[in-house]
Copies of this chain bind each other. A is one copy, B any other.
Amino acid sequence: MTSTADAARPPGRPRSVRADEAIVEATLDLLAEGSTIETISVEAIAARAGVGKATIYRRWPGKDALLRDALRRLKGDPPQPSGGSVREDLITLVSAIGHNVDPRAAQIMPCLVPEMKRSPEQYAFYQSIVEPRRAAMREVLRRGVREGELRADIDIEVTMAMLTGPMLIQRVLNWNPDLDEATLPEKVVDGVLAGIRAR
């Protein structure tokens, strides 16, 4: 028993960690540059990574498995609200929408939209990214209600959609070319807080 646990290291040359990294990075780069999940090719990935195709097929059984693993890398931690006023926390959370840690995510996420519609796994993947962020926002809203800063009769889930939707369609769909993304979070939060009805 020379090794800790049963990590019997197999003989021969160990697999290059550098190749592992390069393959995944190349995949994400290509996706961010405009390839879609269906048009991206293993050959392009290999070429971009400076790696032989065989090296890829030694690690993954096929393109789908590789893409699944690569996309999993994009999942960052949900942002932590500072815990100041409810308004400040909401602005923090809303600003983070579609503004991921990995800048490539902003380009890649829209590519997953069509996929989601038909693949339950892709939808589950999407939800696994979105849910933690929803949870953070939900907590801030509940705190606001608890401390009396927000009304008690609001629908939390609908309110989250009201805060998230505008940012998401603007950042993902470029919905309205005339909107300024930089100031949108603050305007949306204040808009939702105040309402638009005359009084």
Contacts and interface: CB of A to CB of B under 8 A. Distances in A.
Given A107-B117, A169-B164, A179-B157, A198 B149 contact: yes
Contact of A196 (B110, B154, B164, B179): B154
Using C-beta atoms within 8 Å of the partner chain, give the interface range for chain A.
35 or more
A176 B123 CA distance: 11
A45 interface: no
Total copies of this chain within the assembly: 2
A196 B192 contact: yes
A183 to B, nearest CB: 9
Interface in A179-199: 179, 184, 187-188, 191-199
A52 interface: no
B195 A193 contact: yes
A162 interface: yes
Contacts of A111: 114
A114 B116 contact: no
Contact of A191 (B123, B155, B170): B155
A166 interface: yes
Interface in A136-195: 148-152, 154-155, 157-162, 164-170, 172-179, 184, 187-188, 191-195
Nearest to A33: B118
A2 to B, nearest CB: 51
A50 interface: no
Interface string A46-69: 000000000000000000000000
Interface stretch (A6-14, A19-27, A34-42, A72-80): A34-42
Interface of A: 34, 36, 38-39, 107, 110-111, 113-114, 116-118, 123, 126-127, 130, 134, 148-152, 154-155, 157-162, 164-170, 172-179, 184, 187-188, 191-199
Closest 10 A/B residue pairs (Cβ): A165-B165, A195-B195, A165-B166, A161-B166, A193-B197, A111-B114, A158-B187, A194-B195, A165-B169, A110-B113
